[in-house]
């Protein structure tokens, strides 16, 4: 076989081994060309919810392609988009009434940022500042990098990024510092929006904070006329234990971004869901107030059909019960590591479990990261640590025995690579 021309994401080809070629996926597994089955413990970058190739979603895609492929969504409409928008409004927190489609988590956040700035501009308010939480990650496009943590991910692109105001992560016991910082920034009435990853900061290290902090951030935002953008790209569709993480704080954001689990992870689609006030700030006989955003594949009918099938799975199958069981198993499974000297900061939120390996170096570029990936892959486990941060974010179909095997492998990794305090 000739040398591959593929340039893989987040991959240093000079140091990484040739990746396995996957020829089949099913349930909680991906299978290589050589027939090796690998347990997908990270839901293929957090997208697969019910399991790979859920029959209902596959059938919906097959049926949709018999009548529709891509249809321009500026000036035309189609029924899958209409039905899905109605379903999303019903499932989202109260007050979110308008659905704007895009293609990925990053673009859904770009849309949200543009909506927020357009809202204030069209309302006659001179607000253009964005507030973010320390260690956040919202994507890899220019706008989403701008509202994410500055560091190795985006250092080369710094000249392209716009400035934001950053408040500290609400670490345990220091939550009030976060709230006070946001309140101070909001006083002058110039902040357009606060963007948050509700309850769990994903790529920043699976950092977790309590729901009451999110509720307080929303209260401060409302008091100052600041919009709250909830980036639920990763946390939505049950990952934190509820459909959307905002529900646990009884919070309705002004704008909510969803993607990854929207189609069950089967095919790319994203939606940015906004309040009536934000829509009507762009609703005008003055065409200059139009919301100027689109992509070629906006509201792809096949992707919308897949998402509708996903909604039906949530309605017809005991998905909530599966999530509750998985959440309990994750919490129970981490107990052994709370007394393990090689690990620290064991934490769970819903179906997400994370813990830090004690090692000589931390951070995304820690040398331990590639070693851990290789260690797990040898054992037929797809685990992609964030440096020394190990996390499990599996599909909801994973079994107790499969989880147990993951915990056993993590324990072995600690003994092999960890350091004692």
Mean pLDDT of the chain: 97
**31-40, 41-50, 149-158, 268-277: the lowest-pLDDT one:** 149-158
CATH of the domain at 147: 3.40.640.10
Tens of pLDDT along 347-404? 999 999 999 999 988 888 888 999 999 999 999 999 999 999 999 999 999 999 999 9
- The three-state secondary structure class of 107 is helix
H or E segment to which residue 192 belongs: strand 191-196
**Domain termination residue (choose one: 254, 289, 316):** 316
Q: Does any domain span residue 17?
A: no
Q: Does any domain span residue 333?
A: yes
Total domains present in the chain: 2
Q: Does any domain span residue 381?
A: yes
The mean pLDDT of 144-155, rounded to a whole number, is 94
Residues 121 and 241 in one domain: yes
The beta strand positions in 61-173, using DSSP E, are 96-102, 129-133, 165-167
User: What is the model's pLDDT at position 366?
Assistant: 85
The mean pLDDT of 214-238, rounded to a whole number, is 98
Q: How much is the pTM?
A: 0.97
Q: Does any domain span residue 31?
A: no
Residues 311 and 323 in one domain: no
> Phi-psi region for residue 365, left (φ > 0), alpha (ψ -120 to 50) or beta?
alpha
Give the tokens for residue 327.
């959440």
CATH of the domain at 403: 3.90.1150.10
Residue numbers of the domain that contains 154: 57-316
The mean pLDDT of 75-95, rounded to a whole number, is 98
Residues 206 and 331 in one domain: no
pLDDT at 1 over 60: no
Q: Does any domain span residue 35?
A: no
**Domain termination residue (choose one: 270, 294, 316):** 316
d(CA 229, CA 181): 18
**Domain termination residue (choose one: 316, 334, 367):** 316
Residues 412 and 282 in one domain: no
Tens of pLDDT along 173-198? 999 999 999 999 999 999 999 999 99
Residues 332 and 302 in one domain: no
Q: Does any domain span residue 294?
A: yes
């Amino acid at each position: 076989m000739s040398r591959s021309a593929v340039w893989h994401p987040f991959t240093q080809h000079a140091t990484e081994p040739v990746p396995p070629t996957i020829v089949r996926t099913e349930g909680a597994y991906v299978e290589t060309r050589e027939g090796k089955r690998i347990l997908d413990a990270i839901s293929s970058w957090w997208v697969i919810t019910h399991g790979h190739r859920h029959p209902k979603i596959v059938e919906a895609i097959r049926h949709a392609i018999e009548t529709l492929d891509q249809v321009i969504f500026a000036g035309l409409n189609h029924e899958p988009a209409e039905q899905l928008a109605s379903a999303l409004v019903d499932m989202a927190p109260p007050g979110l009434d308008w659905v704007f489609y895009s293609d990925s988590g990053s673009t859904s956040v770009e849309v949200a940022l543009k909506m927020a700035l357009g809202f204030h501009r069209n309302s006659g308010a001179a607000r253009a500042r964005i507030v973010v939480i320390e260690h956040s990650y919202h994507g890899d496009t220019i706008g989403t990098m701008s509202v994410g943590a500055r560091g190795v991910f985006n250092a080369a692109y710094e000249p392209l990024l716009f400035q934001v105001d950053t408040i500290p992560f609400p670490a345990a016991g220091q939550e009030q510092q976060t709230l006070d910082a946001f309140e101070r920034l909001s006083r002058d009435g110039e902040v357009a929006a606060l963007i948050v990853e509700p309850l769990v900061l994903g790529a920043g290290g699976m950092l977790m904070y309590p729901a009451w902090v999110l509720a307080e951030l929303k209260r401060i935002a409302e008091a100052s006329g600041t919009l709250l953008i909830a980036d639920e790209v990763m946390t939505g569709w049950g990952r934190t234990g509820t459909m959307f993480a905002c529900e646990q704080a009884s919070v309705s954001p002004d704008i909510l971004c969803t993607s990854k689990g929207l189609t069950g992870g089967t095919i790319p689609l994203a939606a940015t869901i906004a309040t009536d006030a934000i829509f009507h700030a762009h609703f005008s006989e003055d065409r200059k107030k139009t919301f100027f955003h689109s992509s070629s594949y906006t509201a792809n009918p096949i992707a919308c059909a897949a998402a509708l099938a996903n909604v039906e799975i949530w309605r017809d199958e005991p998905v909530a019960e599966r999530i509750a069981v998985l959440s309990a198993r994750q919490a129970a499974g981490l107990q052994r590591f709370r007394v393990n000297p090689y690990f620290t900061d064991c934490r769970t939120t819903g179906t997400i479990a994370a813990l830090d390996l004690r090692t000589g170096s931390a951070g995304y570029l820690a040398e331990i990261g590639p070693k851990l990936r290789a260690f797990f892959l040898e054992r037929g486990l797809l685990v992609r640590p964030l440096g020394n941060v190990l996390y499990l974010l599996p599909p909801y179909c994973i079994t107790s025995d499969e989880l147990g095997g993951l915990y056993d492998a993590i324990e072995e990794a600690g003994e092999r690579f960890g350091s004692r305090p």
